[in-house]
Amino acid sequence: MDRCQNNKESYMKIIHCADIHLGSGISYIEDPAKRRERQDELLETYRRMFRYAVLNEIEAIIIAGDLFDTDQVAAPLMGAVIREIIDHPDISVYYLKGNHDVNIKSGIENIPNLHCFTDVVKVYGLHNNALPKMNDIHDLHGDTDVIRSLHNSNEIRNDRVNVNIAGVELTPDNRDSFYDELNFAPEDFNILVLHGQLYENGGSNELAINKRLLQHRNIDYLALGHIHAYRSGGIDARGIYCYPGCLEGRGFDECGSHGFVVLDIDTADGNCKRSFVEFARRKLHEIQVDITDMTGGAEILNSVEKSLDNARCPEQDMIRVELTGMVDQELSPVCAYIKKVLSERYYYIKVKDAAKKTYSLHNNANCNEKIYGLHKDKQMDDKSGGYDRVSFRKMFTDTVRSKNDISEADREEIIRLGIMALNGEELI
């Protein structure tokens, strides 16, 4: 039975977050002031997480990689991050560096409630439980002195379930060998923190994690980072893995809900309740709007507004509208018009022209010949078919696109020139 599915009252709460990417450039926001404001919001969400921890009696926070977006962290940002940890001495923070901040040099190792992982397996026992059995804990070099220095070796086990948090930074040297050093006691609740891509049976890059090699090692919860969206699943009959995603979406490849995971661990029996907490200051949305056959900016804007209303996008959120379909006009002025109008309604709006154009094309004798060949082949004219202009245009484009013996470039050229002809324009 999955030990992270019980609904009993918890005795210990742990936050699992990852991929915060503080210091991110957020370069897609054109306005420098708004870009800076959004960067500040990422830091503020990190701070709000600590306030949430206090209000909800969280005892530990796991950061599973990429706290920072780069190894080069500005001193004011680093100071703010460290200050938040120091100001909450009753919350233990377990920090595993990711691929973005792996070489960071910060001097944070001397903060009493901040516990860092390195490229050797390290195990921490949470402060209100007895120690794990020391003969079950090793680093990659077989030396247990690192672990012993972190805890009082005179402590004894009690009738509570021990909660252990282990982690290791993956490198080319250890990524294939660290699995055999994971010797968790079966009676404990065991958390393993890793940053990388989980594969069913291994992968080729240095951040590849082999799920098969994690099975049957008494892992209850695999706290992962690297994937920027929430994702979870089973490791084996006992344990589960979880990516919490990032705290805040930074670009339009990170749309949807973002936040962190809370574990409520019942130390009386080792069962655990797991929940995702939506926590981002803003969401990012990408909305596609088909504008085929629309003739003007007002009509397109009306369609966009209806799509946004249907999607129920809050005004404080960040929106990218993608115009799709086929049109016979240049959309740059329309995009600018829509952006100007909707910028008064939403925190951030971006309008992308992804529609195919059907206008002002150069002469192409080969395409002209094929247009008339298709016309003759299908007898697609008003007399024989009785089609109206819209139906005729659809049948024409569908017919062209079905011709696999014509290159894609030629098919698009045929459609463009054909629609010009339908509109009575001269093919020059």
Tokens describing residue 361:
């094309």
Contact 292, 325 (CB under 8 A): yes
Give CA separation, 233 vs 96, 193, 243, 257, in Å.
21, 15, 9, 18
pLDDT of 284 > 60? The answer is: yes
Per-residue model confidence as pLDDT tens digits over 234-243: 999 999 999 9
DSSP 213: G
Per-residue model confidence as pLDDT tens digits over 352-377: 999 988 754 444 444 444 544 555 44
pLDDT above 70 covers a percentage of the chain that reads 78
pTM of the model: 0.75
* CA atoms of 312 and 256, how far apart (whole Å): 13
pLDDT of 296 > 60? The answer is: yes
Helices 32-55 and 75-86, interaxial angle, to 10°? 10
pLDDT of 396 > 60? The answer is: yes
Tokens describing residue 381:
């004219």
Name the superfamily (CATH) of residues 12-278: Metallo-dependent phosphatases (3.60.21.10)
DSSP 225: E
DSSP symbols for 45-93: HHHHHHHHHHHTT--EEEEES-SBSSS---HHHHHHHHHHHHT-TTSEE
Task: Indicate the domain borders of the chain.
Answer: 12-278, 284-357, 365-422
Q: Taking residues 67-96, what's their average pLDDT?
A: 94
SS3 185: coil
Q: Taking residues 99-122, what's their average pLDDT?
A: 82
* CA atoms of 166 and 239, how far apart (whole Å): 15
Residues with Cβ within 8 Å of 360's Cβ and at least 6 positions away in sequence, in order, are: none
